[in-house]
């Protein structure tokens, strides 16, 4: 063991800064002896797991503070060593003076994560549990807290222990055959049974591996990209969701030129929002870079909120009446009907000429008189007048068509460029303006899950939050399962999964036992590395615990 771990160490365990109280932890073989020289009571006579009032006295006899001492005797302490926790007032001056006197008495300042590292080295917890301590401290939501707590209490370790036990039995049977290779009549393992066992182990490791996507999202916040055209209200929505002015809001297009990120907890689930630059064609080089980042945000998001400016849709539809060509065609069609409705002037002339000939031949008029011809002409003119719609009627028809178009508000959904593996929620923003125009907001719809909001007025925000919770696919049942949230664990599980799959394939192809044994041991070692087994070298341990805070 490193000689450094034989030292007595001390550090402030509470958060830095001024507070009501602060806790200074001392751990090691000489913890009681060093503290005894600094306080007004006999620490050596204190019973384990007891708390006692004392005065902290400096080497010159000056009373520095009134403190509470709590004693934990080895091995029943967090580190497995004798440990004393000194609770003093939260003054930074007091804290620093206590540390100075403890160091002067023979202790040294602890390194980052050294208390937890000692707990691991002294067998108080395995490596995955030790890492869960850091996750528990860093947890910012109910879901992240539950995963870390379950792991710290050994839920993940127990699952790995059961898997390793099965693998060890598996390996024993395979290697036993190797030891008795000369006795062909002996068969210690039925390969069909080994195949079934390999499939079972593969299934369990695969489930743990697949849980990392969810676990990592819960730990670091479920990534949500807010995207849409310029001035759709993305920054206003971010501010409404986080409850503060996080992003600059302006009517000027292209205000947001970079991705703005913030996290909030909704019903115990942490969400990480990305407010992105508005999507549009632009010659502005800086804005173009921001738009490129917007698309990258979509790629790494789990949920995409695609904002639609409902007011803009309204403006587009209001200007979309029947075109001039359509009205011209309608007028031309009506004129054609007018031409067909009555006889032409030539036809009337022919009729008049014919009648005149008959009158001359017979010398007694039997054809239609001039009055009759006038009546026929008037009648035909009347038919022409009735067949042609008036200018007012055309105007009314045009207005009716425009009304039909503006009552329903549609948009081109092909503009929503979201990969199929992402959850997309279409958000119709600025519905207050749609309602003010007297339109039915129920006409706003999409093939994607969608909601109607006014980010500026705060309308529909609660409904959107509920949709985000549902889209996260996190419920109580999911949180009860063992969930992997640590990237190192995921890497080890992936290697273990590859190894057990090689074993499964080897059993199918009658691979020799010595080669099967190599892959089985690889699988066992990778699982062991998660909890601090064979592959947990000093370098790996140092890297893990260096990420802890001082005093833990």
Residues 281 and 429 grouped into a single domain: yes
Residues 15 and 92 grouped into a single domain: yes
229 versus 350: the higher-pLDDT residue is 229
Q: Provide the CA 227 distance to its chain's centre, in angstroms.
A: 14
Residue 457: name the closest of 317, 303, 310 by CA: 310
Query: Does residue 124 fall inside a structural domain?
Result: no
Distances (CA, A) of 51 to 28, 48, 63, 87: 18, 9, 20, 10
226 bridge partner residues: 275, 305
- Contact present, 158 and 126 (Cβ < 8 Å): no
- Contact present, 226 and 247 (Cβ < 8 Å): no
Residues 304 and 386 grouped into a single domain: no
Q: Can you tell me the distance from the alpha carbon of 471 to that of 304, in angstroms, rounded to the nearest whole number?
A: 10
pLDDT band at 375 (very low <50, low <70, confident <90, very high): low
Residues 200 and 335 grouped into a single domain: no
Is the pLDDT assigned to residue 257 strictly greater than 80?
Answer: no
By residue range, what is the domain housing residue 278?
A: 223-317+423-472
Predicted confidence at residue 477, as pLDDT, reads: 66
Q: For strand 450-452 and strand 303-309, is the pairing parallel, antiparallel, or unpaired?
A: unpaired
Query: Does residue 411 fall inside a structural domain?
Result: no
Question: Mean pLDDT throughout 191-216?
Answer: 91
Predicted confidence at residue 538, as pLDDT, reads: 56
Residues 350 and 254 grouped into a single domain: no
Residues 356 and 389 grouped into a single domain: yes
Is the pLDDT assigned to residue 221 strictly greater than 70?
Answer: yes
Query: Does residue 379 fall inside a structural domain?
Result: yes
Residues 456 and 519 grouped into a single domain: no
Per-residue H/E/C for 279-331: ECCCCCHHHHHHHHHHHHHHHHCCEEEEEEEHHHHHHHHHCCCCCHHHHHHHH
SS3 content of the chain, % helix, strand, coil (to 5): 55, 15, 30
Q: For strand 63-72 and strand 50-57, is the pairing parallel, antiparallel, or unpaired?
A: antiparallel
Query: Does residue 216 fall inside a structural domain?
Result: no
State which of 59-68, 172-181, 343-352, 500-509 shows the largest mean pLDDT.
59-68
Query: Does residue 399 fall inside a structural domain?
Result: yes
Question: Mean pLDDT throughout 222-234?
Answer: 84
- Contact present, 24 and 92 (Cβ < 8 Å): no
Question: Mean pLDDT throughout 135-163?
Answer: 90
Question: Mean pLDDT throughout 400-420?
Answer: 60
Q: Can you tell me the distance from the alpha carbon of 159 to that of 129, in angstroms, rounded to the nearest whole number?
A: 13
pLDDT band at 190 (very low <50, low <70, confident <90, very high): confident
Instruction: Say what the alpha-carbon torsion angle 450, 454, 460, 461 is, to the nearest 10 degrees.
Output: 100
Helices (H), 363-421: 370-387, 391-407
State which of 307-311, 344-348, 375-379 shows the largest mean pLDDT.
307-311
Q: pLDDT > 70: what percent of the chain?
A: 68
Query: Does residue 199 fall inside a structural domain?
Result: yes
Predicted confidence at residue 338, as pLDDT, reads: 46
Residues 37 and 77 grouped into a single domain: yes
Query: Does residue 116 fall inside a structural domain?
Result: no
Predicted confidence at residue 284, as pLDDT, reads: 58
Residues 462 and 328 grouped into a single domain: no
Residues 290 and 165 grouped into a single domain: no
Question: CATH number for the domain including 76?
Answer: 3.30.1360.120
Least-confidence region, from 256-270, 280-294, 374-388: 374-388
Last residue of a domain, one of 472, 505, 530: 472
Residues 282 and 431 grouped into a single domain: yes
pTM greater than the 0.85 cutoff: no
Is the pLDDT assigned to residue 229 strictly greater than 70?
Answer: yes
Question: CATH number for the domain including 506?
Answer: 1.20.120.430
Residue 479: name the closest of 267, 224, 166, 273 by CA: 267
Residues 350 and 436 grouped into a single domain: no
Is the pLDDT assigned to residue 453 strictly greater than 60?
Answer: yes
pLDDT band at 541 (very low <50, low <70, confident <90, very high): low
Is the pLDDT assigned to residue 394 strictly greater than 90?
Answer: no
**Which tokens go with 46?**
């204190």
Predicted confidence at residue 76, as pLDDT, reads: 95
Query: Does residue 550 fall inside a structural domain?
Result: no
Domain count, the chain: 4
- Contact present, 280 and 257 (Cβ < 8 Å): no
């Amino acid at each position: 063991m490193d000689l450094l771990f034989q030292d007595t160490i001390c550090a402030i365990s509470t958060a830095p800064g001024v507070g009501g109280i602060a806790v200074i932890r001392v751990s090691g073989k000489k913890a009681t002896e060093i503290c005894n020289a600094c306080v007004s009571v006999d620490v050596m006579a204190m019973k384990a797991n007891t708390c006692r009032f004392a005065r902290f006295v400096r080497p010159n006899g000056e009373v520095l503070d009134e403190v509470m001492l709590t004693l934990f005797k080895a091995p029943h302490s967090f580190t497995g060593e004798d440990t004393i926790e000194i609770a003093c007032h939260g003054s930074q001056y007091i804290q620093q003076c206590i540390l100075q006197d403890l160091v002067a008495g023979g202790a040294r300042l602890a390194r980052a994560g050294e208390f937890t590292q000692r707990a691991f080295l002294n067998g108080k917890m395995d490596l995955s549990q030790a890492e869960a301590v850091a996750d528990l401290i860093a947890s910012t939501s109910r879901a992240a807290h539950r995963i870390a707590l379950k792991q710290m209490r050994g839920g993940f370790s127990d699952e790995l222990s059961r898997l390793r036990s099965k693998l060890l039995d598996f390996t024993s049977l395979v290697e036993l055959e190797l030891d008795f290779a000369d006795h062909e009549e002996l068969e210690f393992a039925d390969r069909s049974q080994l195949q079934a066992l390999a499939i079972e182990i593969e299934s369990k490791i695969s489930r743990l591996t697949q849980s990392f996507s969810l676990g990592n999202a819960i730990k670091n916040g479920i990534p949500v990209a807010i995207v849409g055209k310029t001035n759709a209200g993305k920054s206003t929505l971010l501010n409404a969701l986080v409850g503060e002015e996080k992003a600059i809001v302006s009517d000027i297009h292209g205000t947001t030129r970079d991705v703005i990120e913030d996290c909030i907890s909704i019903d115990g689930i942490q969400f990480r929002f990305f407010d992105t630059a508005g999507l549009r064609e632009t010659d502005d080089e800086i804005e173009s870079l921001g738009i490129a980042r917007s698309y990258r945000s979509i790629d790494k998001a789990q949920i995409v909120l695609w904002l639609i400016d409902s007011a803009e849709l309204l403006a587009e539809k209001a200007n979309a009446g029947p075109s001039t060509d359509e009205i011209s065609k309608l007028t031309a069609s009506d004129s054609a009907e007018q031409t067909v409705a009555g006889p032409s002037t030539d036809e009337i002339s022919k009729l008049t000429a014919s009648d005149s000939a008959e009158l001359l031949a017979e010398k007694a008029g039997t054809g239609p008189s001039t009055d009759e011809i006038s009546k026929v002409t008037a009648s035909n003119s009347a038919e022409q007048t009735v067949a042609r719609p008036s200018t007012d009627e055309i105007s009314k028809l045009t207005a009716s068509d425009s009304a039909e178009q503006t009552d329903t508000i549609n948009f081109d959904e092909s503009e929503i460029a979201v990969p199929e593996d992402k959850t997309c929620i279409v958000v119709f923003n600025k519905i207050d303006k749609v309602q003010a125009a007297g339109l039915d907001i129920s006409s706003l719809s999409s093939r994607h899950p969608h909601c109607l909001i006014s980010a500026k007025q705060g309308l529909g925000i609660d409904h959107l939050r509920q949709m985000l919770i549902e889209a996260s696919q996190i419920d109580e049942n999911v949180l009860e399962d063992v969930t992997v949230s640590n990237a190192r664990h995921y890497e080890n599980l992936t290697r273990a999964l590859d190894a057990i799959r090689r074993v499964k394939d080897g059993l199918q192809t009658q691979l020799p036992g010595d080669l099967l044994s190599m892959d089985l041991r690889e699988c066992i070692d990778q699982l062991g590395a998660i909890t601090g087994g064979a592959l947990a070298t000093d370098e790996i341990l140092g890297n893990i615990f260096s990420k802890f805070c001082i005093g833990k």
